[in-house]
């Protein structure tokens, strides 16, 4: 499992996060919407595509209306941040992690890993594939 500090850094959280318990507490309180923006910008360059992914995770009206996300929305953002942090750890290169996450992959029926990671099960599948790559297993 990837360190909580790495996930917090991907999400651009300002408060110091040193453990999974602290990360869980931040998610339970509700993350700032800037965390979603930070995750998406880390992986997607195109502004229209950034908005598409952001609003797939948090509806546009909700995103525009609130500064603080609800815990359920925050869980989605943490999941995305965890997948991005894991990819960056496995590839040890942000550019390669970004390429992996945004390139269609046959393991996800041709979908991009970043899109597969929108669901809990999809995120687990992406993380499993990343750890297989890390350990040198066929992926």
pLDDT interval class at 138 (50, 70, 90): low
Condensed to tens digits (0 to 9), the pLDDT of residues 47-69 reads 999 999 999 999 999 999 999 99
Predicted TM-score of the model (pTM): 0.95
Give mean pLDDT, residues 97-123: 96
Contact 88, 94 (CB under 8 A): yes
Average pLDDT over residues 27-34: 97
Query: How does DSSP classify residue 107?
Result: G
User: How far apart are the C-alpha atoms of 8 and 128, rounded to whole Å?
Assistant: 20
pLDDT of residue 85: 98
Select from 5, 127, 23, 128 the least CA-distant residue to 77: 23
Domain positions in the chain are 4-134
Q: Terminal CA-to-CA distance of the chain, rounded, Å?
A: 18
Predicted confidence (pLDDT) at residue 4 exceeds the cutoff of 80: yes
Question: What is the phi/psi pair of residue 51, to 5°?
Answer: -65, -40
Higher pLDDT, 138 or 9: 9
């Amino acid at each position: 499992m990837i360190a909580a500090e790495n996930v917090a850094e991907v999400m651009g959280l300002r408060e110091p996060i040193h453990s999974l318990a602290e990360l869980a507490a931040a998610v339970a309180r509700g993350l700032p919407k800037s965390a979603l923006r930070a995750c998406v910008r880390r992986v997607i360059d195109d502004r229209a595509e950034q908005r598409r992914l952001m609003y797939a995770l948090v509806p546009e009206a909700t995103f525009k209306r609130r500064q603080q996300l609800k815990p359920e929305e925050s869980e989605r953002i943490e999941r995305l941040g965890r997948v991005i942090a894991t990819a960056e750890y496995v590839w040890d290169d942000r550019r390669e992690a970004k390429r992996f996450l945004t390139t269609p992959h046959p393991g996800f029926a041709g979908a991009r890993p970043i899109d597969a990671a929108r669901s809990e099960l999809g995120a687990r599948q992406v993380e499993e594939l990343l750890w297989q790559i890390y350990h040198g297993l066929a992926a």
